[in-house]
Amino acid sequence: MRFEDQRKLLVQELRQQGIRDEAVLAAFSKVPRELYVPPQYKDYAYRNRPLPIGLEQTISQPLMVAIMLEHLELKPEDLVLEIGTGSGYECALLAEIAGEVCSVERLEELSLTAQGVLKEAGYKNIFFRIGDGAQGWLKAYPPHKEFDKIIVSAGARQIPPRLQEQLKPGGILVVPVGAGDYQILTKVIRTENGYSVSEHGACAFVPLISK
């Protein structure tokens, strides 16, 4: 079956699993996941499962990515901070929906590979930083201080305080939180008086490593 047909089936599956955000579904229908997995896994690109991408990292399960993007409540004008560039797949999905994406990756090899794929795909609204994701967008270009939305693609022991500080008022942070192999998907909204926190089910991510 052609990758295009497999992609349509994946979008149908996401709908059946409860994803309702049409912008998120449109992004999944457009971005070719096979470009963001190692060659030996291309035949598995559209299975609803995580896949290894090297260096003990994974490309997340499409359904989990879709759930996180839906919780972000993305808008076309949003400035988004992504923690964990990984293969670049989630970054591409974000770039299809939001105005600008700033993506941080700790592992230089992964970041450079993802940058090559994303630039080849023609994205001009993505900026990259190699460094400690828990610190957010520091000493990087463009020199943004706050973001409308922040998404973390790794499990944090607690809600990273530096990321909370980089949320604009009314902004949303989505992050897996937990100390073990499994975490709780957590949504943080910056309010006038602080932060509103809600939990949205179990998930499993590689750990967020920070100094």
Identify the CATH number of the domain in which residue 94 sits.
Answer: 3.40.50.150
Tokens of 86: 């990984």
| Distance (Å, whole) CA 172 – CA 148 | 7
Query: 131-161, pLDDT tens digit by residue?
Result: 999 999 988 999 999 999 999 999 999 999 9
Question: Is 46 part of a structural domain of the chain?
Answer: no
Question: Is 53 part of a structural domain of the chain?
Answer: no
Question: Is 8 part of a structural domain of the chain?
Answer: no
| Distance (Å, whole) CA 50 – CA 61 | 4
Range of the domain at 105: 60-203
Question: Is 48 part of a structural domain of the chain?
Answer: no
The DSSP bridge pattern shows strands 100-105 and 126-130 to be parallel
Active site positions, annotated: 60
Check whether 37 has a pLDDT greater than 80.
yes
- pLDDT for the residue numbered 56: 86
| 133 touches 154 (CB < 8 A) | yes
Confidence of residue 1 (pLDDT cuts 50, 70, 90): confident
Confidence of residue 169 (pLDDT cuts 50, 70, 90): very high
Burial of residue 191 (CB within 10 Å: 0-12, 13-18, 19+) is exposed
Average pLDDT of the residues of the chain: 95
Contacts of 55 (CB under 8 A, 6+ apart): 107, 109, 110
Maximum separation of any 2 CA atoms in the chain, in Å: 53
Confidence of residue 179 (pLDDT cuts 50, 70, 90): confident
| Distance (Å, whole) CA 67 – CA 62 | 9
Question: Is 99 part of a structural domain of the chain?
Answer: yes
| Distance (Å, whole) CA 169 – CA 134 | 20
Question: Is 187 part of a structural domain of the chain?
Answer: yes
Question: Is 29 part of a structural domain of the chain?
Answer: no
**Nearest-CA neighbor of 156 among 106, 207, 109, 193?**
207
- pLDDT for the residue numbered 52: 93
| Distance (Å, whole) CA 154 – CA 68 | 12
- pLDDT for the residue numbered 48: 94
Confidence of residue 209 (pLDDT cuts 50, 70, 90): confident
- The residue type of 196 is S
- pLDDT for the residue numbered 18: 97
Check whether 180 has a pLDDT greater than 90.
no
Look at the chain and report how many structural domains it folds into.
Answer: 1
Question: Is 64 part of a structural domain of the chain?
Answer: yes
**Nearest-CA neighbor of 134 among 152, 112, 110?**
152
**Nearest-CA neighbor of 121 among 133, 113, 129?**
113
Query: 62-111, pLDDT tens digit by residue?
Result: 999 999 999 999 999 999 999 999 999 999 999 999 999 999 999 999 99
CA distance readout (Å), 108 to 8, 84, 165, 170: 33, 11, 25, 32
Confidence of residue 210 (pLDDT cuts 50, 70, 90): confident
